[in-house]
Amino acid sequence: MAGARSVGSLPVPNVQALAEICNGPDEHIPERYIRPEASSEEVINNYQGDMAIPIIDLKKLLSPQSSEEECVKLRSACQYWGFFLLINHGVPDEVIANLKRDIVDFFSQPLDTKKEYTQLPNSLEGYGQSFVFSEDQKLDWADMLYLHVHPSDSRDLRFWPTSPASFRQSIDAYSSETKSLALCLFEFMAKAVGAKPESLLDLFEEQPRGLRMAYYPPCRQADKVMGLSPHSDAGGLTLLLEINDVQGLQIKKDGKWLSVHAPNGAFIANIGDTLEILSNGMFRSVEHRAVINPNKERLSAALFHYPCENIVISPLPEFVKDGKVKYRSISYLDFMKQIFTQQLDGKSRVDTLKLDQ
Ligand SMILES: O=C(O)CCC(=O)C(=O)O
Ligand SMILES: [Fe+2]
């Protein structure tokens, strides 16, 4: 593969700056950003009834009176959707508001200021783009700032912006306040299928977490470009925050794209590949993408929860019903390496690990 790297992205133009140049209705958009699939597949915008994304209430999960009922909903959400909205999650409004403000402020700074945090070769962290493997690969209409936020010794402060001045503090507070959320969800997910809570908790207890903040510039020809290519998330669980209330996330449901939007203050939670394998396919890691708004910029922040680095990802015995193991085992490090060396051409990563039934 031309230009392949072990990790990190090839450098590509800054999209926010590009969008400012080609912002007319007929302006030429460079060929590498033209994505026919952005408008060629069916999208459902007003979903209702069975097509409404499940809403999980953390307060209800934690309350002895309602926990069992909410656990049933959680199980069904993880099995059939792989996505759910998480409400009453307990992360203070102020912590979320501060993070949102600072992310907006960061991306609205001059390019030269943001470039001080540019990704280095062979590193994913910093300001730039994710997953650009080759010179001829189509490109997404977005810029990103990716940081390891936990554990604290994984932080590389070279990439942590000092402007806006409160940014580091806001990310740190957000990281602390979300710390127990995913573990709590893992615990209930295990309980929901009759497995011991430790079965998942033990694998995620060190909680490596990364925060990917994305800036999707508007594009007058939004139907020609793609904000974030279809993908599934590699880790265990992702908690997504929509920063400025502009819709753009779409998830694959029964072969169609479904627009998903979080009401103010809710998280959009989704199962990642690692959890699909650990749960022997009981929980689904679902393909999703982000599209572009013609008039408004969109910002989001995805908090990825990874398992401990030294584990082998393999279906957990408690999730294997009828003795049928559906995935082959792979060390977590090898699994992550694949992300940077393999172009899957539309195939899902977990599919490559599925055993023939
Ligand atoms: O921005 C979004 O809505 C989606 C982000 C996402 O899927 C990701 O960062 O993996
Ligand atoms: Fe994602």
Q: For ligand 1, say whether the CB of 251 is within 6 Å of any of its atoms.
A: no
14 token code pair: 């800054």
* Cα–Cα distance for residue pair 31/327, rounded to 1 Å: 38
Mutation probe of ligand 1 site: the residue of 288, 299, 348 with most atoms within 8 A of C-beta: 288
Residue 121's pLDDT is 80
Query: How much distance in Å is there from the Cα of 194 to the middle of ligand 2?
Result: 28
* Cα–Cα distance for residue pair 210/148, rounded to 1 Å: 4
Mutation probe of ligand 1 site: the residue of 209, 243, 247, 249 with most atoms within 8 A of C-beta: 249
Residue 347's pLDDT is 63
Query: How much distance in Å is there from the Cα of 246 to the middle of ligand 1?
Result: 13
Query: How much distance in Å is there from the Cα of 193 to the middle of ligand 1?
Result: 27
Angle, in degrees to the nearest 10, between helices 93-107 and 167-177:
140
* CATH number for position 61: 2.60.120.330
- Which residue range is the domain that position 256 belongs to? 2-351
Q: For ligand 1, say whether the CB of 248 is within 6 Å of any of its atoms.
A: yes
Residue nearest ligand 1's atom 8 by CA: 302
* Cα–Cα distance for residue pair 201/199, rounded to 1 Å: 6
Residue 17 — left, alpha, or beta (φ > 0 → left; ψ -120 to 50 → alpha)?
Answer: alpha
Q: For ligand 1, say whether the CB of 348 is within 6 Å of any of its atoms.
A: no
Residue 290's pLDDT is 97
- Domain membership flag for residue 179: yes
Decide: 234 and 299 in contact? Cβ < 8 Å.
no
List Cα–Cα distances, 328 to 73, 190, 345, in angstroms.
29, 21, 21
Q: For ligand 1, say whether the CB of 303 is within 6 Å of any of its atoms.
A: no
Greatest C-alpha distance within the chain: 59
* Cα–Cα distance for residue pair 17/155, rounded to 1 Å: 28
Report the domain count for the chain.
1
Residue 249's pLDDT is 97
Residue 45's pLDDT is 82
What's the whole-model pTM score? 0.94
- Domain membership flag for residue 356: no
Q: For ligand 1, say whether the CB of 249 is within 6 Å of any of its atoms.
A: yes
Residue 24's pLDDT is 76
What ligand 1 atom has the least distance to the C-alpha of 270? 7
Helix-strand-coil split of the chain, %, nearest 5: 35, 20, 45
- Domain membership flag for residue 357: no
Which SS3 state, helix, strand or coil, does residue 55 take? strand
Which SS3 state, helix, strand or coil, does residue 91 take? coil
Residue 350's pLDDT is 86
Residue 11 contacts by C-beta under 8 Å, 6 or more apart in sequence?
119, 128, 132
Residue 91's pLDDT is 97
Residue 240 — left, alpha, or beta (φ > 0 → left; ψ -120 to 50 → alpha)?
Answer: beta
Q: For ligand 1, say whether the CB of 289 is within 6 Å of any of its atoms.
A: no
- Domain membership flag for residue 207: yes
What ligand 1 atom has the least distance to the C-alpha of 300? 1
Decide: 309 and 254 in contact? Cβ < 8 Å.
no
The DSSP string of 232-258 is --SSSEEEEEESSS---EEEEETTEEE
For residue 97, the one-letter residue type is: A
- Residue written as tokens 């997404």? 140
Which helix or strand (DSSP H or E) is residue 301 part of?
strand 298-305
> Going edge to edge, which strands form the sheet with 288-290?
43-44, 256-260, 249-253, 288-290, 228-231
357 residues of the chain, pLDDT tens digit each? 333 334 667 778 899 999 998 887 778 899 999 998 888 888 888 766 667 899 999 999 999 999 999 999 999 999 999 999 999 999 999 999 999 999 999 999 999 999 999 998 878 899 998 777 787 889 999 999 999 999 999 999 999 999 999 999 999 999 999 999 999 999 999 999 999 999 999 999 888 999 999 999 999 999 999 999 999 999 999 999 999 999 999 999 988 999 999 988 899 999 999 999 999 999 999 999 999 999 999 999 999 999 998 899 999 999 998 889 999 999 998 888 877 665 555 567 788 889 976
Q: For ligand 1, say whether the CB of 300 is within 6 Å of any of its atoms.
A: yes
Decide: 283 and 158 in contact? Cβ < 8 Å.
no
Cα three-residue angle 273-39-294, rounded to 5 degrees: 100
Residue 203's pLDDT is 94
Query: How much distance in Å is there from the Cα of 228 to the middle of ligand 1?
Result: 7
- Domain membership flag for residue 82: yes
Residue nearest ligand 1's atom 6 by CA: 302
Mutation probe of ligand 1 site: the residue of 238, 252, 259, 299 with most atoms within 8 A of C-beta: 238
Q: From the centroid of its chain, how far is CA 351?
A: 19
Residue 136 contacts by C-beta under 8 Å, 6 or more apart in sequence?
2
- Domain membership flag for residue 74: yes
Which helix or strand (DSSP H or E) is residue 74 part of?
helix 67-76
For residue 218, the one-letter residue type is: P
Mutation probe of ligand 1 site: the residue of 228, 246, 291, 296 with most atoms within 8 A of C-beta: 228
Q: From the centroid of its chain, how far is CA 104?
A: 18
- Domain membership flag for residue 295: yes
What ligand 1 atom has the least distance to the C-alpha of 302? 9
